Amino acid sequence: MTEQLFPDDIANGLVDGTLPAAAVPASLHDVADVLRAAHQAVTEDELKGMAALMQRFTAEVAVESPPATIHRSSPMFNARIPRRVAAMVAVTLLAAGTAAAASSGGAFSSSASSRFEDVVLLEGSTTTEVVEEESTTTTTEAPDETTTTETPDDETATTEASDSDEGEREDSHLYGKCTAFTNGTAKNLQNPAFSELQDEADAAGISVDDYCAMVIDTHRADDDASGDADDDASGHADDDASDDADDDASDHADDDASDHADDDASDHADDDASDNGSDHAGNSNSNSNGNGNGHGNGHGKNG
Amino acid sequence: MDDLTFGGVMVAAKAGDQRAAELLFLELHPQLVRFLRVSEPRMADDLAGEVWLAVARGLRAFDGDLAGFRAWVFSIARRRVADHRRTAMRRATDPVDEDFFRDRPVADDTAGQSLAHLSAQVALDLIARSLPVDQAEVLTLRIVADLDVAHVATVMGHTSNWVRVTQHRALRHLATVLAKGPAEEILDDRVIPTRARTI
């Protein structure tokens, strides 16, 4: 037995409420009345609480929408500009101070020059001539005893080997990274921060653990051997190293590892120049140490 | 709102424009609330809030015209109703609260009512209570959500032909129910919550 259906236009017209009353079949008059009633507009009573719902919805839409035309790197770039400006100001002030000291026959030209060199080096835009020129003014000091495995044909490495400040800085830099590596829970040697340790250990033909143990032992031996005059500087460097390591570790833990890989050099250079440049003017070793250590630690936890 | 306007409003809403979001809300909320009141009278406002929250979160992924948007919103609403009913079914007791009866007119109030002067809510209650669930849902989506047969089929997960046939059956069933007696006798029975007989 086949089912008898209404014509589609009548059924749809009834349901849509568009069928004229005259066209409604007699058997469907009551149905048409009910459907017409159902088409009546919504009353105020039915819409109680609508304002609150609408406010919640629009707020949620605003929150859920993507930040228009803002890329991940833009805020970092913008944040970096003031740092660069601060770094340039710091360099200018230091240069002016150096010049003033030199003109007045001051005795701290060596350390001031190295300070200038530190800042310029970390800025990442220096030429080799600047480094060499500065290094010639500081060769009177004793060469660094700590292990440096950089090749002699590297001009910068040669300069660093003959520069006590540079050597100490390198020492503390490696010490910081080794401390971070040794203390870190996640020892990921793929992390760019630790790749330097891997390179150094490979060059020495030992494991990174052994290499770091050696660096840490050497550093502590240096600290023990140094006198009261040195305590200030090295102690400050160590403190900075560990303190900044903790700070940086927590700061960098939330950041993207890839962002760090791209921006490490310039960011830390800027940070050093602007943040530490003036604060640690009296301690030549402190600038890069803390950041090197902290950076390594942070990445270690990330990895 | 026509499709052309809707396109611009949707783009703005996706970009986080609150005014555009308001327009979308105002376009559909009255119908949504009515649909939810027919389906779940006591939970309509809460369910509406959940639906709009889901809409806000999925807005960026939506791609379509006004009819598609309407179908999408009512699909969400239908799922929310189904979820709520499943949850309610799992509860040991789910008594009808007194507000339900207080808000409804007593039997005497319906004596003089004719079908031509029913309120929309009462008419929809009548449809929902008189018809099998599928038939009631087809009519409700067609009338309240203003969806055509194809979009109702999308929302309900059936074919257009199934919706067309179900709509015919609903009309004939409703005619049969209304022919059995005076409207007031049917309406007297409306204190029975819709939910008590659904799914």
Give A258-302 pLDDT, tens digit per residue.
Answer: 344 344 434 443 444 333 333 333 343 433 343 434 333 433 333
Q: Tell me which of A219 and B31 has the higher pLDDT.
A: B31
Q: Is residue B198, in this structure, part of any structural domain at all?
A: no
Percent of chain A with pLDDT over 90: 0
Chain A residues with CB-CB distance to B under 8 A? 3, 5-6, 8, 11-12, 14-17, 27-28, 30-31, 33-43, 46-50, 53-54, 56-62, 64-66, 68
Of B29, B56, B90, which marks where a domain is finished? B90
Q: Is residue B117, in this structure, part of any structural domain at all?
A: yes
Tokens of B110: 């319906």
Quick one: B104 and B177 in the same domain? yes
CA distance A181 to A216: 11
Quick one: B71 and B144 in the same domain? no
Q: What residue type is assigned to position B43 of the chain? A: M
Interchain contact, B122 vs A37, CB within 8 Å: yes
Q: What residue type is assigned to position A129 of the chain? A: E
Q: Tell me which of A288 and B31 has the higher pLDDT.
A: B31
Average of per-residue pLDDT across B87-103: 61
Average of per-residue pLDDT across B43-61: 91
How many structural domains are present in chain B?
A: 2
Q: Encode pLDDT of B165-188 as tens digits.
A: 999 999 989 888 888 765 556 655
Quick one: B81 and B107 in the same domain? no
Q: A63-83 burial, b for 16+ CB within 10 Å, e for fewer?
A: ebbeeeeeeeeeeeeeebeeb
**Domain range enclosing B146:** 98-188
Q: Is residue B199, in this structure, part of any structural domain at all?
A: no
CA distance A141 to A146: 14
- Mutate which of A31, A44, A45, A60 to disrupt the B interface (most B C-beta within 10 Å)? A31
Q: Tell me which of B124 and B118 has the higher pLDDT.
A: B124
Average of per-residue pLDDT across A132-157: 42
Q: Encode pLDDT of A11-68 as tens digits.
A: 888 888 888 888 888 888 888 888 888 888 888 777 888 888 898 898 888 886 665 5
Residue A136 has pLDDT above 80, yes or no: no
Residue B43 has pLDDT above 60, yes or no: yes
Quote ipTM for the complex. Answer: 0.77
Of B29, B61, B90, which marks where a domain is finished? B90
CATH of the domain at B74: 1.10.1740.10
Interchain contact, A61 vs B18, CB within 8 Å: yes
Of B55, B90, B125, which marks where a domain is finished? B90
- Residue A291 CB partners (closer than 8 Å, separation 6+): A244, A248, A268, A271, A272
- CA dist A160 to A108, A154, A216, B58, B106, Å? 19, 10, 20, 58, 97
- Residue A257 CB partners (closer than 8 Å, separation 6+): A191, A299, A302, A303
Residue B159 has pLDDT above 90, yes or no: yes
Quick one: B168 and B104 in the same domain? yes
Q: Encode pLDDT of A220-263 as tens digits.
A: 777 666 544 444 444 444 444 444 444 444 444 444 433 443 44
Q: Phi/psi zone of residue B132: left (φ > 0), alpha (ψ -120 to 50 degrees), beta?
A: beta
- What is the least distance, in Å, from the CA of B157 to any CA of chain A? 20
Q: Is residue B109, in this structure, part of any structural domain at all?
A: yes
Residues in A closer than 8 angstroms to B55, CB to CB, are: 57
Interchain contact, B21 vs A68, CB within 8 Å: no
Residues in B closer than 8 angstroms to A53, CB to CB, are: 25, 29, 45, 48-49, 52
If pLDDT is split at 50, 70 and 90, which confidence band does A76 have? low
